[in-house]
């Protein structure tokens, strides 16, 4: 093995977390080598956030076209041109990827193309060449989690294969009611697929507030989805036409495809073999994201917590500043916004009601129904905004959680994050105007109600 280049920062993985760390480290005057086996941008840009949200936008257009007559517009939904749909999705990905490549090059980050293997001792092997760094950042990301006994083959897919389908399936079984599962179930339903969700936990989006989960489930059932919660698949058999699964209650279901959407697992096996401490597949880190190897950090999906691109961005920036001795503030997990881009959307930040009740002696929760929001009525979406604050109903306390359900409510999460992050009191928000008519007003109305002066709340 030959030794190639030594740098201030050596990063293994060019996904959301890795390339962000590279950009910030370079900005701070550090020399950076970034190793990536595929394309810069990783899962989020090429097989996750961006292509799935492009498909979800196309699905929204399909739904709008179907109901255009109810708005006085003459239009007709004639089906899906899959080649054109994939070309549109790929065009979005390509533009963003091209821009990212140029950005990384402009920051004088050295990109090494190839599969890297962490060796320990601040060294990474790429094709027999060892790269070393004063600091090493592990950002190898995650992969779709598989289910023992159900091989990924033929009509059984992960989200990676689902993005490459040449046609929209007539029917689909989605195993998993988390974010990936409900997003694919939603977009396929919009494009004409008959979808059944099978989830082993008692409710969809089990990490979200119970109110949000139940509101979403009612909305999806109204759209025609079949939902089986508290149910597991014990067997899956496929033939030339269908996949047949057997459930633990004895029932059997058949569909054209089976999507395995049971979450993602960190790519950490090689890291563990090299001596990096791992627990449950996730790399063990301290509050500064440092591993058990001195000067070696882990970021993004490798670290237990929300597997979200923007969390990876925050981790990358934090570690770059930590290496540059800027004393950054650790990423606050409870302030990371979460959005499921299904129809309707679910967006949240902060504590759920059950988590708040465990943490505080008294809490007060308020739901403002979107039925009273003008813009939501224009959009013909239902749902609501739930705000949770500390303290009894006749007192006042800081807002600790905000949860939204409805089309386009993901756009509300920026203000919601500021409110929770600044530990604002509802009366602090009360004087701020919310433009009319916007869905943003719903958040303002909920704050008015919690401040004791409800305006449009019945």
29 with 129, same domain: the answer is yes
Among 434, 436, 456, 458, which one carries the catalytic annotation? Answer: 436
Shared domain for 167 and 291, answered yes or no, is no
Cβ density class 282-294: b for 16+ within 10 Å, e for less? bbebeeebbbebe
Residues 396 and 327 in one domain: no
Residue 457: inside a domain: no
CATH number for 310: 3.50.50.60
108 contact partners, CB below 8 Å, separation of at least 6: 26
105 and 161 both lie in a single domain: no
Whether residues 291 and 381 share a domain: the answer is: no
Range of the domain at 411: 344-450
- Is 403 a residue of the active site? no
- Please indicate, yes or no, whether residues 257 and 269 belong to a single structural domain of this protein: no
Give burial (CB, 10 Å; 0-12/13-18/19+) of 113: middle
455 lies in some domain: no
Domain boundary among 247, 262, 277: 262
Q: What is the structure's pLDDT at 1?
A: 64
Verify that 255 and 375 share a domain, yes or no. no
Domain identity same for 408 and 358: yes
Domain boundary among the residues 262, 278, 308 is at: 262
Claim to verify: residue 442 and residue 368 sit in the same structural domain: yes
Specify whether 136 is located in the same domain as 271. yes
Same domain, 132 and 57: yes
* Torsion sign (Cα): 17, 22, 23, 25: positive
pLDDT at 458: 59
Instruction: Confirm whether 339 is domain-assigned.
Output: no
pTM for this one? 0.94
Last residue of a domain, one of 278, 306, 333: 333
161 and 212 housed in the same domain: yes
Q: Is residue 151 part of a domain?
A: no
Residue 34 maps to a domain? yes
Domain-located, residue 150: no
CB proximity list for 243: less than 8 A, separation 6 or greater: 155, 156, 173, 236, 237, 254, 255, 256, 257, 258
Number of structural domains (the chain) is 3
Per-residue pLDDT of the chain (458 residues; tens, 9 = 90+): 677 789 999 999 999 999 999 999 999 999 999 999 999 999 999 999 999 999 999 999 999 999 999 999 999 999 999 999 999 999 999 999 999 999 999 999 999 999 999 999 999 999 999 999 999 999 999 999 999 999 999 999 999 999 999 999 999 999 999 999 999 999 999 999 999 999 999 999 999 999 999 999 999 999 999 999 999 999 999 998 999 999 999 999 999 999 999 999 999 999 999 999 999 999 999 999 999 999 999 999 999 999 999 999 999 999 999 999 999 999 999 999 999 999 999 999 999 999 999 999 899 999 999 999 999 999 999 999 999 999 887 778 999 999 999 999 999 999 999 999 999 999 899 889 899 999 999 999 999 888 877 666 65
């Amino acid at each position: 093995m030959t030794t190639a280049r030594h740098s201030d920062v050596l990063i293994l993985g060019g996904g959301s977390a890795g390339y962000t760390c590279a950009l910030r480290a370079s900005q701070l005057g550090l020399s950076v080598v970034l190793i990536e086996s595929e394309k810069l941008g990783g899962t989020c840009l090429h097989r996750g956030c961006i292509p799935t949200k492009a498909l979800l936008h196309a699905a929204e257009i399909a739904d709008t076209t179907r109901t255009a007559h109810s708005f006085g517009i003459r239009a007709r939904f004639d089906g899906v041109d899959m080649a054109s749909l994939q070309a549109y999705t790929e065009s979005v990905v390509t533009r963003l990827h091209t821009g990212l490549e140029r950005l990384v090059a402009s920051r004088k980050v050295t990109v090494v193309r190839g599969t890297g293997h962490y060796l320990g001792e601040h060294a990474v092997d790429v094709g027999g060449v060892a790269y070393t760094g004063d600091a090493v950042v592990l950002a190898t990301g995650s992969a779709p989690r598989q289910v023992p006994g159900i091989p990924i083959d033929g009509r059984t897919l992960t989200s990676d294969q689902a993005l490459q389908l040449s046609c929209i399936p007539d029917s689909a079984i989605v195993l998993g009611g988390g974010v990936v599962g409900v997003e694919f179930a939603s977009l396929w339903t919009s494009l004409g697929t008959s979808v059944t969700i099978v989830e082993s936990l008692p409710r969809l989006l089990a990490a979200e507030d119970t109110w949000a989960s139940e509101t979403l489930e009612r909305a999806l059932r109204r759209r025609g989805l079949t939902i089986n919660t508290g149910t597991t698949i014990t067997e899956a058999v496929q033939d030339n036409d269908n996949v047949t699964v057997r459930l633990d209650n004895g029932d059997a279901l058949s569909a054209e495809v089976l999507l395995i959407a049971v979450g993602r697992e960190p790519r950490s096996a090689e890291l563990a073999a090299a001596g990096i401490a791992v627990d449950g597949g996730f790399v063990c880190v301290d509050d500064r994201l440092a591993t058990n190897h001195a000067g070696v950090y882990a970021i993004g999906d490798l670290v237990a917590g929300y597997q979200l691109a923007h969390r990876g961005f925050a981790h990358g920036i934090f570690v770059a500043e930590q290496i540059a001795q800027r004393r950054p503030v650790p990423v606050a997990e409870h302030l990371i916004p979460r959005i499921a881009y299904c129809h309707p959307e679910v967006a949240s930040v902060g504590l759920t009601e059950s988590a708040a009740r465990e943490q505080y002696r008294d809490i007060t929760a308020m739901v403002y129904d979107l039925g009273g929001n003008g813009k939501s009525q224009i959009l013909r979406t239902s749902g609501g905004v739930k705000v949770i604050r500390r303290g009894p109903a006749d007192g006042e306390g800081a807002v600790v959680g905000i949860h939204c359900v409805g089309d386009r409510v993901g756009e509300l999460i920026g203000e919601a994050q500021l409110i929770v992050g600044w530990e604002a009191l509802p009366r602090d928000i009360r004087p701020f105007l919310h433009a009319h008519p916007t869905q943003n007003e719903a958040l303002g109305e909920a704050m008015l109600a919690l401040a004791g002066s409800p305006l449009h709340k019945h």
